Amino acid sequence: MDIGDIRRVLIVGAGTMGQQIGLQCAAHGYEVVLFDVETSVLDPAMERVRAYADELVAAGTVPAPVRDRALAAMATSADAAEATADVDLVSESVPEDPELKGRVFAELDRLCPERTVFTTNASSLTPSMLAGATGRPDRFAALHFHQPVWVANVVDVMPHPETSQETVDLLIGFARRIGQIPIRLEREHVGYVFNSMLNAVNREALTLAANGVVPFQDVDRSWMGIMKMPVGPFGIMDLVGLDTVWSITDFWARTLGDAQLEASAAFVKAYVDRGEFGVKSGRGFYVYPEPAYQRQGFVDGTGP
């Protein structure tokens, strides 16, 4: 398949990443289908997509006509057969569970055209963990985005040993077509490039808070005060989504039998159990849309 042959993109998973990837593709001229097995999430997902698009117009980043064309190019579906019809590329963003992802890709392989290239946006899994389930390992790789996609516009292109060079070249070209900077990994690595660094920081941040060394706010104050950054690790985790943070932490805690990761996963799970997922739910470690870390005096402790 040539880059010019990609016209229709299927986004599997209508969560935050699926919404953003879908809008980014549509804004760059692609037809997009946003698919999720949970019918109830599709309307709210498109409401959030429209809100993202309006924010980009208000910021002067995207012209209103581009927004309108992008939204018109996006459709939703909870019917797998309908969603997969005539798609050229799949971007998968379902929860970080290798068994679930494997089942999803097996079903996609059954329904998608033979030509369709599969990609995963998995955060902490490698493509070789999923390749067998895809039924087309030569046309499968990780295409990993960061959020917000239109600002943090670096995408990891990570093949596995059976990925064809043609597929790698196609994905690099596609990434550039949708305004992303492709980083081509020479070998599989859990966490890719940026996430490998970020995960190390987040792991230690969770360790400090879960072990009661300091409250999470003081972890962020320390990071923001020394590094002069506008947000700390716990604010970043709120942006990622605490359900995702918990899923990743819990998976590796069980996989590695790591007691500290188990304690950190339990710390995050308390928030998840209360429906406090971070920015997307309006409450996580902080309360949104005006989190405490954005207020004057937060870092030096003089603020409200």
Q: Which two tokens stand for residue 22?
A: 């879908």
Give a yes or no: residue 220 inside a domain.
yes
Q: Are residues 214 and 136 in the same domain?
A: no
Q: Are residues 42 and 87 in the same domain?
A: yes
Q: Are residues 202 and 99 in the same domain?
A: no
Where residue 153 sits, what CATH number does that domain have? 3.40.50.720
Instruction: Please state, for a pLDDT cut of 70, what percent of the chain lies above it.
Output: 100
Q: How far apart are CA 35 and CA 43, in angstroms?
A: 11
Quick one: pLDDT at residue 116? 98
Where residue 230 sits, what CATH number does that domain have? 1.10.1040.10
Give a yes or no: residue 209 inside a domain.
yes
Give a yes or no: residue 272 inside a domain.
yes
Q: Are residues 156 and 215 in the same domain?
A: no
Give a yes or no: residue 231 inside a domain.
yes
Q: How many domains does one find in the chain?
A: 2
The pLDDT of 153-162, averaged and rounded, is 98
Quick one: pLDDT at residue 146? 95
Quick: pLDDT tens for 260-292: 999 999 999 999 999 999 999 999 999 999 999
Domain, as residue range, for 230: 195-290
Quick: pLDDT tens for 71-105: 999 999 999 999 999 999 999 999 889 999 999 99
Give a yes or no: residue 190 inside a domain.
no
Give a yes or no: residue 304 inside a domain.
no
Domain boundary among 158, 184, 210: 184
Q: Are residues 64 and 130 in the same domain?
A: yes
Instruction: Please state, for a pLDDT cut of 90, what percent of the chain lies above it.
Output: 94
Quick: pLDDT tens for 200-254: 999 999 999 999 999 999 999 999 999 999 999 999 999 999 999 999 899 999 9
Domain boundary among 154, 184, 214: 184
Q: Are residues 143 and 214 in the same domain?
A: no
In which band, very low, low, confident or very high, does the pLDDT at 302 lie, cut at 50, 70 and 90? confident
Give a yes or no: residue 296 inside a domain.
no
Q: Are residues 200 and 179 in the same domain?
A: no
Give a yes or no: residue 300 inside a domain.
no
Domain boundary among 184, 209, 225: 184
Q: Are residues 203 and 165 in the same domain?
A: no
pTM score, whole prediction: 0.86
Q: Are residues 103 and 234 in the same domain?
A: no
C-alpha dihedral over 143, 149, 155, 158, to 10 degrees?
-20
Quick one: pLDDT at residue 202? 95
Measured in degrees and rounded to the nearest 5, phi and psi for residue 142 equal -85, 135
